[in-house]
Amino acid sequence: MKKIITFEKNAGLQILDAFKKSVDENGYIVEKSNPTQKVLTIDGEELALKDFAGIRKGSAIFIKSDLVSIINLVDLLQ
């Protein structure tokens, strides 16, 4: 059984902190241990906190909150 956890938009920073990520001065999600290293979506895009939708289980794949990314996630989970 696949599980999806949802969270309020304002909980994004706490979620990222649990995965050792933070946000740089430009609003992009970065590695906490290396703030110059931005995290990437499955499509290789840099991801801003305002576009953060979640993290795929068992990986460091970050999900963008646009319709195409959500549809791609659903396809991967099926």
Domain residues of the chain, as ranges?
Answer: 9-77
For 59-76, what is each residue's pLDDT tens digit?
Answer: 667 778 888 877 777 777
Identity (one letter) of the amino acid at 73?
Answer: L
SS3 of residue 6 by DSSP: coil
SS3 of residue 15 by DSSP: helix
> How do 34-38 and 29-31 pair as beta strands?
antiparallel
Provide the sign of the torsion angle of the four alpha carbons 71, 73, 74, 75, taken in this order: positive
For 31-62, what is each residue's pLDDT tens digit?
Answer: 999 999 999 888 889 999 999 888 876 566 77
Band of residue 2 on the pLDDT scale cut at 50, 70, 90: low
